[in-house]
Amino acid sequence: MPQITLNSAQVNELAAFIKKHGLKTFFMDKDEGASVGASAGSLEEGNFENLIYYFKGMDPNNESYAGEAWDNARHAFGGDDFGEFLDTEFILKMAEKVEPKVTIKVTATSIKMDGTFKKDAPAAPKAAARPAAPKNAQKMNKGERIRQLLAEGVDVDTIVGMVGTTANSVRWHKSKMNKGA
């Protein structure tokens, strides 16, 4: 299953590009290589800009692959060239987090985006009480992660993509939170 992970700097750079150009989508494509990125403007008007991140081993401009980028992309994705447009909302929400990383995984039938980030630094404890240490997002179970994201105002569809669960599961946790459980 081919995948690409955008590090924190790349997530923030992509989000800034998306905001600068008011984009609603970014792309994933396979042609001479395989990449994710965004583009704006026009070659004819002289204002074309793009931002591209290649899947590992699939950058046709990287000479260290000695012309193997096309073969690597063909092996990972099949022979047909394609382009898919992906909603920018997830990238923009992840860019608001501390040290975000976004992984895009591709199967024959789906494209899944998942994200990780560091929690914000906890507030200074009051002198009389010592708060429990916050759980690391990586150590949370799915239910805890779902409730955290719901509390942060993340929408159901985005949580499904981030956590790898079903919309019904997210709605169940939301109903429990609304009931104060």
**What pLDDT, in 10s, does the model give residues 19-71?**
999 999 999 999 999 999 999 999 999 999 999 999 999 999 998 876 899 99
Which CATH fold topology does 1-118 show? DNA Polymerase III; Chain A, domain 2 (3.10.150)
Domain ranges in the chain are 1-118, 122-181
* 8 A C-beta contact, residue 42 and residue 89: no
Cα separation of 149 and 160, whole Å?
10
**What pLDDT, in 10s, does the model give residues 7-16?**
999 999 999 9
pTM: 0.65
* 8 A C-beta contact, residue 171 and residue 160: no
DSSP label of 108:
S
Tell the residue number behind the tokens 């240490």, with chain if given: 133
Which residue, 48, 42, 14, is CA-closest to 28?
14
